[in-house]
Amino acid sequence: MGRIDKVSSQDQPVDTNKSLYIVKIGGNVIDNSENLHNFLKDFTALDGFKILVHGGGKVATQLSETLGIEPKLVDGRRITDIETLRVVTMVYGGLINKNIVAQLQRFGTNAIGLTGADGDFIRAKKRPVKTIDYGFVGDLDEDSINPQNLKNLIGAGFTPVFCALTHDGEGQLLNTNADTIASALAVTLSDLYKTTLIYCFEKKGVLKDINDEESLIQDIDPQRYEELKAQQIIHSGMLPKLDNAFTAIACGVTSVIIGNSNDLGKLKDNKPFGTLLSNNK
Amino acid sequence: MGRIDKVSSQDQPVDTNKSLYIVKIGGNVIDNSENLHNFLKDFTALDGFKILVHGGGKVATQLSETLGIEPKLVDGRRITDIETLRVVTMVYGGLINKNIVAQLQRFGTNAIGLTGADGDFIRAKKRPVKTIDYGFVGDLDEDSINPQNLKNLIGAGFTPVFCALTHDGEGQLLNTNADTIASALAVTLSDLYKTTLIYCFEKKGVLKDINDEESLIQDIDPQRYEELKAQQIIHSGMLPKLDNAFTAIACGVTSVIIGNSNDLGKLKDNKPFGTLLSNNK
């Protein structure tokens, strides 16, 4: 995919036998210091190479409110104007990211906190204005991730911690969805590592009955996914998440896990954790 | 010095023949976008390994004011309470740092924006409370800089950009003077590289007459420094800066340059830039 062709010409060997976990957490973890603390301990305990991707949380909204910046929404989509970009650069790139890094260091993970501008790791394109001007929002394509620079960083012993910011290569930071960043990293890096993508959210995983946490579906392959959709067991809110997951798997990601951050520790103990999406179940 | 003994046992060869420039800029550069732009271009043009260290600027003060956080000063020294630490983490670690990184990437420097928590690069000790409680301020000692991790990062092709934040290794970020960070980096890394420390400030360098920018003293060695002090040509404000510089030189730093950021480009062209402090003039 994309910039991968640059990698094959490099001297360093490809580590496709080595495991890489890419774990994405959202506001529900970040906003709860006890959950975050436990999650970061469990993240540290995971064997293999690791990347953490984190979203925002309430702090950016609160800071915007305090500064009198009105949230701008068009058709339910958030607009990133220049003032909002400043706030998310401060909160995502500074406050949240660097506090996560300091905590991870405490637990023994040699974390390094990043935006996509750092190391030119993630280069995005400012979303073109069609009917809506989203402002300083960056979209990713198959060339967005720089695998060689990431491999160099990971190979040097560091654990990247990405916030939801990228850059355009022309000096402009851009706001980019954290789920999309996690998925793009997983797809590109699956050519270099045996890559597992983990989406943490507030549920135990994909549920047969959204109101029953005990109705967890432990694994889904593409065929079962089609059946679940036909039976309308998978509800509309989960469809984009699962579609993206199976696209990532089709592009080389070994498996995708969707689960609750509080359960991440089960992975280390080889216990079932969340819903496992893969090709070869 | 300090953690250096860990380095000598490593496999990687020591690059004392390779040049490392450590350049520190302060608020007078950061607050002026044209000066910053030109400086970052000149920084990019410098040959050899490089580290940039930046201080704060007006933005942190302005944000504190907007948020209604009263600046706390005791005996003219700024106190970093928890609210102020949040602000500087956002502004230094996020807004300023990541925008500098995005600009450097635009000019072709493979920059990576850091606090001392990232990569465990700079570990400080919270300043003990004696007569004054400085709050979340971190002091450095000879073990603070992690040379091996920095060598791994620089060796992997990245240019570190440090803001004035460190950590205590226990999960706590700390506010640390940027001049001190630059000097500590230079001293520790001088065992690995031929290290030049450059302090950019608002004057052309050390002046014979503080009111005459043309009265630049081009070079000073320790003997001349004693003479200049005896003649009271070097005024009180410059004494701590120069004392620190000659201490760094005594600890292995090849030379220290004190000059104006607008003149950094002269270094690339082998023209005299600022005041050169060294042992062997």
User: Which pair of tokens denotes residue A102?
Assistant: 């300091």
Q: What is the ipTM of this complex?
A: 0.93
Nearest to B50 by CA among B180, B154, B181, B191: B154
Interhelix angle B147-155/B178-189, nearest 10 degrees: 80
Residues pairing with B125 in the sheet: B139
Count CB-CB contacts under 10 A for residue B235.
11
Binding residues of B for substrate: 56-57, 78, 175
| Residue B280 to chain A, least CA–CA distance (Å) | 36
CA B239 from chain centre, in angstroms, equals 17
| Residue contact A171–B103, C-beta within 8 A | yes
Q: Which CATH superfamily is A4-278 part of?
A: Acetylglutamate kinase-like (3.40.1160.10)
Q: How far apart are CA B256 and CA B267, in angstroms?
A: 13
pLDDT at A71: 81
Nearest CA in chain A to B12: A156
Which CA distances in Å does A111 have to A55, B92, B104, B186? 17, 19, 22, 23
Nearest to B62 by CA among A98, A88, A67, A136: A67
pLDDT digits (tens, 9 = 90+) for B245-260: 999 999 999 999 999 9
Residues of B in contact with A115 (CB under 8 A): 98, 101-102, 113
Q: How far apart are CA A221 and CA A277, in angstroms?
A: 6
Q: Give the three-state DSSP class for A75.
A: coil
Which CA distances in Å does B251 have to A15, A196, B1, B122, B123? 41, 47, 8, 18, 20
Q: How far apart are CA B162 and CA A6, in angstroms?
A: 29
Nearest CA in chain B to A109: B119
Residues of B in contact with A91 (CB under 8 A): 90, 94
**Which of A95, A117, A156 lies nearest to residue B90, judging by beta carbons?**
A95
| Residue contact A93–B92, C-beta within 8 A | no
Residues of A in contact with B171 (CB under 8 A): 102-103, 105-106
Q: How far apart are CA A29 and CA A174, in angstroms?
A: 23
| Residue B239 to chain A, least CA–CA distance (Å) | 34
Residues of A in contact with B102 (CB under 8 A): 115, 117, 167, 171-173
Strands B77-78 and B73-74: antiparallel
The residue behind tokens 């003060």 is B61
User: Which pair of tokens denotes residue A216?
Assistant: 């967890």
The residues, any chain, with a CB within 8 Å of residue B130's CB and separated by 6 or more, are: none
| Residue contact B153–A149, C-beta within 8 A | no
DSSP summary character for residue B212: -
| Residue contact B114–A110, C-beta within 8 A | no
Taking every pair of Cα atoms in chain A, the longest distance, rounded to a whole number of angstroms, is 52
pLDDT digits (tens, 9 = 90+) for B45-80: 999 999 999 998 899 999 999 999 988 888 777 799
Nearest CA in chain A to B84: A95
| Residue contact A99–B120, C-beta within 8 A | no
| Residue B153 to chain A, least CA–CA distance (Å) | 7
DSSP summary character for residue A125: E
Nearest to A208 by CA among A220, A196, A192: A220
**DSSP letters along B15-79, please?**
-TTSEEEEEEE-HHHHT-HHHHHHHHHHHHH--SEEEEEE---HHHHHHHHHTTPPP-EETTEEP
| Residue contact A149–B157, C-beta within 8 A | yes
User: Which pair of tokens denotes residue A249?
Assistant: 């798997």
| Residue contact A157–B149, C-beta within 8 A | yes
Strands A111-114 and A77-78: unpaired
Which CA distances in Å does A58 have to A32, A55, A91? 10, 10, 10
Nearest to B92 by CA among B34, B176, B154: B176
Which stretches of chain B score pLDDT less than 50?
A: 1-13, 281
| B52 close to B109: Cβ distance less than 8 angstroms | no
Domain range B4-9+24-278, its CATH number among 3.40.50.2300, 1.10.357.10, 3.40.50.1580, 3.40.1160.10 = 3.40.1160.10
The residue behind tokens 């359960």 is A263
Residues of A in contact with B105 (CB under 8 A): 117, 120, 167, 169, 171
With an 8 Å Cβ cutoff, the interface of chain A facing chain B consists of 63, 66-67, 86, 89-95, 97-99, 101-103, 105-106, 110-115, 117-120, 149, 152-153, 155-158, 165, 167, 169-173
Residues of B in contact with A120 (CB under 8 A): 105, 110
Residues pairing with A200 in the sheet: A259
| Residue contact B149–A172, C-beta within 8 A | no
pLDDT at B159: 98
pLDDT tens across the length of chain A (281 residues) = 444 444 443 444 455 679 999 999 999 899 999 999 999 999 999 999 999 999 988 999 999 999 999 888 887 777 999 999 999 999 999 999 999 999 999 999 999 999 999 999 999 999 999 989 999 999 999 999 999 999 999 999 999 999 999 999 999 999 999 999 999 999 999 999 999 999 999 899 999 998 899 999 999 999 999 999 999 988 777 888 899 999 999 999 999 999 999 999 999 988 999 999 999 64
User: Which pair of tokens denotes residue A89?
Assistant: 């650069």
pLDDT at A4: 42
| Residue A187 to chain B, least CA–CA distance (Å) | 23
Q: How far apart are CA B239 and CA B244, in angstroms?
A: 8
**Which of A111, A117, A156 lies nearest to residue B105, judging by beta carbons?**
A117
Choose from B158, B159, B166, B172 for mutation: most chain A CBs within 10 A. B158
Q: What number of CA atoms fall less than 13 Å from residue B13's CA on the CB side?
A: 4
| Residue A91 to chain B, least CA–CA distance (Å) | 6
Count CB-CB contacts under 10 A for residue B209.
11
Q: How far apart are CA A63 and CA B254, in angstroms?
A: 45
Nearest to A142 by CA among A186, A174, A192: A186
Q: Give me the numbers of helices (H) and strands (E) for chain A, helices first please.
A: 11, 14
| Residue contact A93–B95, C-beta within 8 A | yes
A78 is in an annotated binding site: yes
Binding residues of B: 56-57, 78, 175
